[in-house]
Structure 1
Amino acid sequence: MAGYVEMYRLGKTYDTPNGPAVIVEDFNLNMKKGEYVCLLGHSGCGKSTVLSMVAGLNSITDGGIVVANHEIDGPGPDRGVVFQSPCLMPWMTALDNVMLGVNQVYPHGTKSQRHDIAAYYLTLVGLGNSLHKRASDLSQGMQQRVGIARAFALKPKMLLLDEPFGMLDSLTRMELQEILLEILVRDQVTTLMITHDVDEALFMSDRVVIMTNGPRAKVGMISHIPFDKPRVRSDVLEHPEYYQLRGEMIGFLEDQDHKKLKADAEKRQRDQAASQSETKGQVAVP
C-alpha cells in the first residue's frame, strides 16, 4: 500500500577489501502523512544508514525512497534533520543559527518576515529569552533546542531525528521529548526517529519498527502504539498495554542478541576448523 513516505526494497552495500559488505537489504516501510515512527535496533544494525539514505546524505544502492510523491536523489529542504549533536556555528547567536536555514528556504521573504519565523520556532522550544545568546554560551540542552527549532523553521515535509536526546540528562531529555511531541502533533509533520531507548520509542511514536541484526539488516518487527495524542507521560505508563508492548520489544531484541551470539560462535568454529585444516595440509620444512 502506498504511503506519504515509501521505502521500497531499500539496500546499502559498501565495497571493502574483502568484497561487498551488505549493510541493509530489502528494507520496506511505508509511512502515512503526520505519522511518527521510531526505528529501533542494536548498534550496528543499519538504523543510521537508513536514516541517512532518507535524508539524501548517503547514496542508495538498491531500491528507492519516495517522499510526498517525489523520489529523492539527494538532500533537500523537504527533509529536516536533527542529529545527536546539533552542529551549530558556535560564534553565532541562536537566532542567527536558525536564520541560516530560513534565509535559504524563504529567499523572497522580507528580512523582518524571516526574523519572525526564526524567533517563533525558538520561542516554541523555550528559547524566547535566549535569541541573542551565542551557541557556545548555551547548554547542551539549549543547543539541541536550537537544532530542533532550525529543523521546524524550514517547514519540512518530513523530519528525521538521529538520537536527538542521546547526549542529554534524563530530565532535559523528558522535557524536550514533550516539547517536540507537542509541536509534531500540532503541525502533523511526518517523522522518523532513531533511538536505542524502548521507553522513548513507546512514548513518542505511532509505530515502532525494530530492525534485525546486521549485516543484511531489514525490518524484523513492527509494533502499533495505541496511546492517545496529545500524550501525558503518566497516562502512557499506566496504560494496560504499555508493559506488554515493552516486553514484546525487549523480547525481540534479546532474541536478536541470542542469534548474534550463536552466529558468532558458529563463525569461530568454522574459522578454527579452517585454520586446523590449513595447518595439517602444510608440509614441515626441516
Structure 2
Amino acid sequence: MRGYVELFRLGKTYDTHKGPVVIVEDFDLNLERGEYVALLGHSGCGKSTVLTMVAGLNPITTGGVAIDGREIDGPGPDRGVVFQSPCLMPWMTALDNVMLGVNQVYRNASKNDRIDLASYYLNLVGLGGSLHKRAKDLSQGMQQRVGIARAFALKPKMLLLDEPFGMLDSLTRMELQEILLEILVRDKVTTVMVTHDVDEALFMSDRVVMMTNGPRARVGAIFSLPFERPRVRADVLDHPEYYEYRRKMIQFLEEQDHRKLKADAEAREQAKKQDEAEEQQVAEAV
C-alpha cells in the first residue's frame, strides 16, 4: 500500500574505526496526507536518525523516502523541521527570524505579502504582540513558538518535529502541544514527531510507531489510536482505551530494556571468553 509519504527499506550505516555500524535497518512506513505519526523509543534507538534522513539533512545509506510521489535527494522547503532547540538568530526579531525562510521560498511575492504571511503564523502561535522583540529577549517557550511559526510559514507538505517540547516546562509544553495541533488540523500537514514521552505520543498522534533498540533499529510495533480530532486533552484521558494503549506502549519499551540487558550480558560473557582464550594462548606460548 502506497502513501502520501513513503519510507521504504530506509537504512543508515556509519563507518567507524571498528568497522561499519548499522544504526537503522529496513525501516518501512507509509503515511497518509494530513496524518500525524509519532516515533517512540528509547534514547539512542535511531529516532532522530530516521527524522534527519527524511528531512534530507542526513544522507540515506539504503532505501529511500518519497513525498507526494517524488523521491527526495536532499533538504527542501517541502519539509519544515522543528528541533528541540529552535536555533534562532538571537540578534534578530521574531518576525525577521521567520522572514528568513519566507524570503527564500516566496522571493517572487511582494514584501508586504511576505510580511503578512510571517505575521499570520506568529499570531497563530500567540506572538502577535512580540513580532519586533529580539529572539534573545524571548523566553524559551516563546522562542520555540517562533520556530514553529517559521516551519509553518513555508507551507510545507510535511512537518518534522524532533522532541520540540523536550526543553520546556510542563505547562508550556501542554500549551504548545495544543497550539500545534490546532494549526495542523487547519493546514492538514502530514507530520512525524520524534518523542520518548508516551503520553505526548498518545495525545498528539494518529499512529504511534514503536522503534526497537539499536543497532539495526527498525519498526517494532504500530498502534493506531482511536481518539477523535480535534483533540481535547480531558476527552483523550477519559477515553476507555487510553490506559490500555499506554500499558501496551510501556510494555513494549520494557521488553526492549530486557532485550538490551540480555544482549549486554551476552556481549560481556563473549568478551570474557575471548580474554580467557587470549590469556591461554599467551600461557601456552610461554
TM over 0.5: yes
In structure 2, distance between residues paired with 1:188 and 1:100: 23
In structure 2, distance between residues paired with 1:31 and 1:205: 12
Equivalent residue for 1:145?
145
Equivalent residue for 2:3?
3
Alignment of 1:240-279 (within 5 A): 240-279=240-279
Alignment of 1:4-43 (within 5 A): 4-43=4-43
Residue 208 in structure 1 maps to residue 208 in structure 2: yes
In structure 2, distance between residues paired with 1:210 and 1:56: 22
Shift of 1:240: 0.2
Residue 66 in structure 1 maps to residue 61 in structure 2: no
In structure 1, distance between residues paired with 2:244 and 2:228: 17
In structure 1, distance between residues paired with 2:96 and 2:244: 46
Equivalent residue for 2:120?
120
In structure 2, distance between residues paired with 1:253 and 1:185: 30
CA deviation digits over 1:226-256, x for unaligned, max 9?
1000011000000000000000000000000
Alignment of 1:87-106 (within 5 A): 87-106=87-106
Equivalent residue for 1:107?
107
Shift of 1:280: 1.2
Q: Give me the TM-score of the superposition, normalised by structure 1.
A: 0.99
In structure 2, distance between residues paired with 1:157 and 1:179: 19
Gaps of 5+ in 2: none
In structure 1, distance between residues paired with 2:183 and 2:177: 10
Read off the aligned partner of 1:115 and give its amino acid letter: I
In structure 2, distance between residues paired with 1:209 and 1:278: 44
Alignment of 1:222-233 (within 5 A): 222-233=222-233
CA deviation digits over 1:257-276, x for unaligned, max 9?
00000000011001001101
In structure 2, distance between residues paired with 1:104 and 1:198: 37
Compute the RMSD of aligned alpha carbons: 0.9
Equivalent residue for 1:154?
154
Shift of 1:164: 0.2
Residue 198 in structure 1 maps to residue 227 in structure 2: no
Identity %: 76
In structure 1, distance between residues paired with 2:188 and 2:242: 24
Shift of 1:283: 3.4
SS in 1 for 2:27: strand
Q: Size of the alignment, in residue pairs?
A: 286
SS in 2 for 1:282: helix
Residue 135 in structure 1 maps to residue 160 in structure 2: no
Gaps of 5+ in 1: none
In structure 2, distance between residues paired with 1:79 and 1:284: 62
SS in 2 for 1:283: helix
CA 285–28 in structure 1, closer or farther in 2 if over 3 Å, else same: closer
Q: Does 50-59 or 273-282 show the bigger shift?
A: 273-282
Equivalent residue for 1:84?
84
In structure 1, distance between residues paired with 2:40 and 2:62: 22
Shift of 1:284: 7.4
CA deviation digits over 1:66-124, x for unaligned, max 9?
01111000000000000000000000000000000000111111110000000000000
Q: Give me the TM-score of the superposition, normalised by structure 2.
A: 0.99
Read off the aligned partner of 1:5 and give its amino acid letter: V
SS in 1 for 2:283: coil
In structure 1, distance between residues paired with 2:168 and 2:111: 34
Read off the aligned partner of 1:207 and give its amino acid letter: R
Residue 54 in structure 1 maps to residue 38 in structure 2: no
In structure 1, distance between residues paired with 2:283 and 2:238: 70
Equivalent residue for 2:221?
221
In structure 2, distance between residues paired with 1:96 and 1:12: 36
In structure 2, distance between residues paired with 1:26 and 1:157: 24
In structure 1, distance between residues paired with 2:273 and 2:10: 36
Runs of 4+ with >6 A deviation: none
In structure 1, distance between residues paired with 2:284 and 2:38: 58
